[in-house]
Amino acid sequence: MFLVFSAPPVAHDWHDTNAHRALVKKAFDGLPWRTAELLATLDGARDLYFDSISRVTVPRWTSGRVALLGDAAWGVTLGGMGVGTGLVGAYVLAGELAAAGGDHRVALPAYEARMRRCAGRWQKGANPGQFLAPSTATRLRLRNVMLRRSAVRRLLLAGTASVAAPGGLPAYDG
């Protein structure tokens, strides 16, 4: 199961799976359909992954010999943008390092500048947590209506494809 819900920040032990189960049960208790039946399986689940959908914006993606890549840098996780942009970032980082002959002082600023132009446009207005776990019933209905629309799904996929479109990426030697 993949369950997402909106909640205020909760102070708890992140290693306490029983607390996680209790939070999930509380969030979904009393909902229709087969919710009660599904929640009943939670206690017997051997593996449980529980986390928050969070986004931290960092002012720099590089420092010294260190470069952030993928969601650690730009955090554009909605509609597959995190994976696609992460792959593009890996390509650009490797390409810039090769083009600079391995000199990180040249390669990392070039990598960041290129990726800010690419990933930066996807960061604007993207808030996966608010989209996946709307805080009101109205927003939840709106999200569900949007996801049922083939035009919205095509738009999300087109955005992913445009990141790595020919002409958008440099052709690095080697």
**Does residue 103 fall inside a structural domain?**
yes
pLDDT digits (tens, 9 = 90+) for 83-135: 778 888 999 999 999 999 999 999 999 999 999 888 876 676 667 777 888 88
- 146: its two tokens: 């949007």
How many structural domains comprise the chain?
Answer: 2
**Does residue 147 fall inside a structural domain?**
yes
Total-model pTM: 0.68
Cβ–Cβ under 8 Å, residues 58 and 68 = yes
Do 83 and 6 share a domain, yes or no? Answer: no
pLDDT digits (tens, 9 = 90+) for 147-163: 899 988 787 777 666 65
Cβ–Cβ under 8 Å, residues 70 and 89 = yes
Do 45 and 79 share a domain, yes or no? Answer: no
* Domain span including residue 136: 62-163
**Does residue 174 fall inside a structural domain?**
no
Do 77 and 159 share a domain, yes or no? Answer: yes
Do 42 and 85 share a domain, yes or no? Answer: no
